[in-house]
C-alpha cells in the first residue's frame, strides 16, 4: 500500500497491525469478501481512531460454484494451511477438463475513516492448473495462471507464484483494488476527505 500511495502521497507511512496497540481481530464470519473486509476495517478504526484499510479475498472456482470463495484460507479446515488447501482443490478438480477449470481471484478493499466508508473491488481471471508451480506469493498462487499469462492468450503460462511481486501487482485482484482506492486514501489522509 505504501508503494502504491507514493504517487498520491509521497512520504506517507502506512502502519500495520504490528505498529498499533494489539487488539482482538474480529472473526471473519460474513458471507462476502466485502463484509469481512468491512469487519476488519471498522475494528481497526474503532480501536485506533486512525483511518483503517482492510481487505478480504479468495479464489472463486467456476466448476465449484464459486467456492472456496470466502472460505479460501480455511478450505481444508483449521488450522490454515496452504499446502492442504491446494491439495484439496486439486483433488476436487481432478476429473474436471482443462477448459472448465476457470476461476477468479476476487478482492474487496474497505477504507473506514471519520468521514465514512469507501469500498472497492478487484478481480483477476484465469484458471486452475493441474500441478503446483512456483515459490512466490501464497495461498493458491501456485495453482493459478491469470488470463494475462495464459499461453492461449500469448502469455508464457507462469503461475502467480512464478511472477515477480511487481508483475503480480500489475494484474492481481488486490493490486487493482489498491490502485483504485489509493487516491481516496491519499485524500482522506491529507484532510481533503474522500473525492466525490
Question: Kind of pairing, strands 67-68 and 52-61?
Answer: antiparallel
**Across the beta sheet with 144-146, what order do the strands follow?**
67-68, 52-61, 102-113, 116-128, 144-146
Does the annotation flag 174 for ligand binding? yes
Closest by CA to 1, choosing from 40, 54, 46, is 54
Q: Half-sphere exposure (CA, 13 Å, Cβ side) for 52?
A: 22
Does the annotation flag 138 for ligand binding? yes
Does the annotation flag 139 for ligand binding? yes
Closest by CA to 87, choosing from 143, 161, 9, is 143
Distance CA 83, CA 132 (A): 10
- The alpha carbon of 164 is separated from its chain's Cα centroid by a whole number of angstroms, namely 16
In the set 56, 87, 95, 156, the catalytic residue is: 56
Does the annotation flag 140 for ligand binding? yes
Does the annotation flag 141 for ligand binding? yes
Does the annotation flag 98 for ligand binding? no
Active site residue 56: yes
Does the annotation flag 105 for ligand binding? no
Bind-site residues: 56-57, 138-141, 168, 173-174
Bind-site residues for Mg(2+): 56
Please list the active-site residues.
56
Bind-site residues for substrate: 57, 138-141, 168, 173-174
Amino acid at each position: 500500500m505504501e508503494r502504491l500511495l507514493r504517487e498520491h502521497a509521497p512520504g506517507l507511512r502506512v502502519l500495520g497491525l504490528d505498529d498499533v496497540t494489539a487488539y482482538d481481530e474480529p472473526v471473519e464470519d460474513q458471507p462476502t469478501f466485502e463484509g469481512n473486509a468491512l469487519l476488519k476495517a471498522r475494528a481497526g478504526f474503532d480501536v485506533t481512531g486512525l483511518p483503517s484499510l482492510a481487505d478480504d479475498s479468495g479464489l472463486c472456482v467456476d466448476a465449484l460454484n464459486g467456492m472456496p470463495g470466502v472460505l479460501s484460507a480455511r478450505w481444508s479446515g483449521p488450522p490454515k494451511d496452504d499446502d492442504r488447501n491446494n491439495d484439496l482443490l486439486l483433488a476436487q478438480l481432478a476429473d474436471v477438463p482443462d477448459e472448465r477449470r476457470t476461476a477468479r481471484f476476487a478482492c474487496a478493499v474497505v477504507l473506514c475513516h471519520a468521514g465514512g466508508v469507501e469500498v472497492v473491488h478487484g478481480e483477476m481471471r484465469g484458471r486452475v492448473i493441474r500441478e503446483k508451480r512456483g515459490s512466490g506469493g501464497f495461498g493458491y498462487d501456485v495453482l493459478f495462471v491469470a488470463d494475462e499469462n495464459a499461453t492461449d492468450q500469448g502469455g508464457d503460462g507462469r503461475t502467480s507464484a512464478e511472477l515477480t511481486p511487481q508483475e503480480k501487482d500489475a494484474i492481481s485482484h488486490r493490486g487493482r483494488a489498491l490502485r483504485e482506492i489509493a487516491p481516496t486514501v491519499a485524500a482522506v489522509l491529507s484532510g481533503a476527505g474522500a473525492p466525490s
